[in-house]
Structure 1
């Protein structure tokens, strides 16, 4: 397979063409650390049959998964993507996945995110890795001074933009449609997705977006000057009180990330170029990109308020599909008695319950049926026209977009999926279990 970067050798797996560990930009270390990613080109044929290392993050010495579910090699040389494309496809819809993990841990390589089911159902799935912690979101006056008007500070977002550009340039070579790209993410990945829906630099790179379980929609961005002050404090803690850009880039990455503030970084810095305003401010001004939108939360995570507000604002423009995921696998109901926890929807969206580490005995028949439905809804969204007002999720379940005439309908995704009015979802009553979102009859 020849791409704009060079030739790739992938593999045919069942009905999918799979390419793993494909570089989409130059490795962002040395002089390229804390810079916008640069295009990469290689000679010859690059093998693409194994995943690349994840971006630098804390990993467990015993080889067990970290809080982001990742166990494996890490490196600054991590700007890679993975592709599952339907064999023989022409103009297949494309979905680009941004994983969650607080912007600190995680990887697009996790088995939960594998794209076999999407490829089987005619969708080309791309998962990417992006810079984490302070390597992905950090500012310092010395770095800002060399960039002038930017772009600056939001390196993880710039990585995603570079990956989207690579996908747009190359999707057709894999049988995908560069004019039908859905960007979707969960938790920190959903925050990134929302930031890109509201970033001037991402305009035209995707036509649809899905926000899964982000609590950051109402959170103000960090002004660049404030981020720079935090960066100066981090550098001083590392022994560089008046650091130059060269000195900062000379720091070993592991030593830089040993500072707590640097290790966590900042996910939304208002630098004036990548981000000119916060997510909520942009939606309130009606200045978000004109993309078809899906968004939702899970029943035991308490992240409804920002989701409801964004849904209300966006509904006045393009169609908006809102969901509420309320299903717990049968084997986990004693562990999760209050409903679906944070990230609980992921193996259902990707239909990867068979490899889900929390279900070593495998899914039940009901688990499998719900996963098939949820996955079908995401596939239907990817295949839908950008003006669609209904999604056919298969079987007899049809999901309408929110509108005043249907009480701003929400798809309740549980053992018995149904459509409910948005105003039946509310915060927990006094004394109720924290984190859960309740309906009026609870």
Structure 2
């Protein structure tokens, strides 16, 4: 049996936290980064966490944010979540090298189509990152209609931020928590990468042009999340909400108290409401990232972006790399091409959506996608790929290349229009123009 973890205590602004230290890695679970967004704080910007007295235990994950789950608590949903959820869900999971000092930080935003998932899932285990000298902060953020929802009664409350975009606000609150507290864990608040996959990558895309996020991060990573559609007009979003509320017997005349009295279970179980209503354009979120990229007004930080060969979206990733790296900080484009031997019968057109996660985190043994089925080739590639991701987290913001995987030099997309291809034997550079958007049926759409 492995040795029992040793308690480790860290003081943050709100009080003391007790986590576990084992094998050179300190792990803290269930760290609150904002007050519970419940009752009158539902559909409000995140509020500060009240200070606590004594030592708060941080060794277990708190419940995921409300989302549709299987009635059988042993069966995960499509976002990997099973069992209980709670609106009180704004928590972090943190993996840090023991006795770290000045360590780079990655703040991870999970995927799940904006209405599923949690930061505490095994695919996002930051143990390998910590052993490589990087702190990983996995974030829960509000989902579905708790995250993206606007209504005349809420607009009448006159919040300066406007209505909607609560997941974006949560991401900013998590970054502010990192700015204020990460040094206590040995992290460098001046070297923070925001990163995410799928919906989390979409949030990172949004943060590239969000004024409230400026200065809170120094690099950005977008995995299968280059969502370049325009944000939604706030009035249009409100009209869609009012229409959907008719399915539960409410409408435009509902008061803010009426809306906040609707149970979380009702919001996540009603098909027209469960997914939320996407980002809205307002005072808080004045312009969509695609418009900022075209105008050259996005936050000028190094960007890594890419997709998997068995999914669509590489064309959008290439657009992001082109526009984000056209001047100033570089952009690095990738495509993940490896299909594990045990998935050959299923993934006949290449690795599917989310397949890269257990490789970019080197989390094969904690991910539900891997475990004992993985072979030596999978494990060797995971070690190489994760080394490239941590090299990006570590590199200075003015670096012009990523050096990783035992001598591989990952050049910027730049004028050469090259991408790093992660195949079974490891990464290699290739012309991006030769790579299709995805498998045939996706690329032809």
> Which TM-score band (shorter chain)?
over 0.9
1:144 match: 155
State which of 11, 19, 36 in structure 1 corresponds to 2:28: 19
Equivalent residue runs for 1:82-231 within 5 Å: 82-217=93-228, 219-231=229-241
Residue in 1 aligned with 2:417?
A: 408
Partner Cα distance (1:309, 1:193) in 2: 15
Kept in 1: contact 2:91–2:140 (CA 8 A): yes
Kept in 1, the 8 Å contact 2:388–2:403? The answer is yes
Q: Distance in 1 between matches of 2:226 and 2:100?
A: 36
Whole-angstrom CA distance in 2 between matches of 1:237 and 1:16: 49
Counterparts of 2:135 and 2:244, CA distance in 1: 41
Shift of 1:215: 5.0
Deviations 1:303-344 (A, max 9, x none): 112111111111122111110111111111121121111111
Match of 1:328?
Answer: 339
**Are 1:138 and 1:262, in contact at CA under 8 Å, matched by a contact in 2?**
no
1:239: Cα distance to partner?
A: 2.0
**Segments ≥4 residues shifted beyond 4 Å:** none
- What is the Cα deviation at residue 259 of structure 1? 2.9
Do the aligned residues in 1 keep the contact of 2:358 with 2:369 (CA within 8 Å)? no
Q: Are positions 1:418 and 2:428 aligned together?
A: yes
Indicate the residue corresponding to 1:9 in structure 2.
Answer: 18
Q: Does 2:382 align with 1:380? A: no
* Aligned partners of 1:300 and 1:436 also within 8 Å: no
Contact 1:144–1:150 at 8 Å: present in 2 too? no
Query: Normalising by structure 2, what TM-score?
Result: 0.94
Name the CA distance, whole Å, in 2 between partners of 1:346 and 1:359.
10
Q: How far, CA to CA, are the matches of 2:111 and 2:159 in structure 1?
A: 31
Match for residue 36 of structure 1 among 39, 42, 45: 45
Secondary structure, aligned partner of 1:411: strand
Q: Structure 1: how far apart are the matches of 2:339 and 2:436?
A: 20
If the length of structure 1 is used for normalisation, what is the TM-score? 0.94
* Cα distance in 2, alignment partners of residues 254 and 105 from structure 1: 14
Deviates more, 1:286-295 or 1:394-403: 394-403
Question: Which of 47, 58, 64 does residue 57 from structure 2 map onto?
Answer: 47
Aligned positions, number:
430
Q: How does 1:341-360 map to 2 (within 5 A)?
A: 341-360=352-371
Which ranges of structure 2 fall in alignment gaps of 5 or more residues?
A: 1-9
Distance in 2, Cα, partners of 1:5 & 1:312: 42
SS at match of 2:161: coil
Q: Map 1:269-308 to 2 at 5 A.
A: 269-273=280-284, 275-308=285-318
More divergent stretch after superposition (249-258 vs 386-395): 249-258
Gapped runs of 5+ residues in structure 1?
Answer: 438-442
3-state DSSP class of the match of 2:11?
A: coil
CA contact (8 A) 1:377 1:391 kept: yes
RMSD of equivalent CA atoms: 1.5
Equivalent residue, structure 2, for 1:435 = 442
Partners of 1:355 and 1:180 in 2: CA distance: 27
For 2:377 and 2:111, locate their aligned partners in 1 and report how far apart those are by CA, in whole Å: 26
The CA deviation at 1:235 is: 2.7
In 2, Cα distance between the equivalents of 1:153 and 1:283?
22
Q: Give distance in 2, aligned partners of 1:16 and 1:363.
A: 24
Counterpart CA distance in 2 for 1:155 and 1:248 is 16
User: Could you list the per-position Cα deviations for residues 326-377 of structure 1 after superposition, in whole angstroms to 9, with x for gaps in the alignment?
Assistant: 1111111121121111111000011011233233533211111110111000
- What do the CA deviations read for 1:270-321 (whole angstroms, capped 9, x no partner)? 1231x21122111111111121110001101011121111111111221111
CA distance in 1, matches of 2:213, 2:162: 12
Superposition deviation, residue 237 in structure 1: 2.8
2:122/2:368 contact within 8 Å kept: no
Corresponding position of 2:5: none
Q: Distance in 2 between matches of 1:115 and 1:148?
A: 36
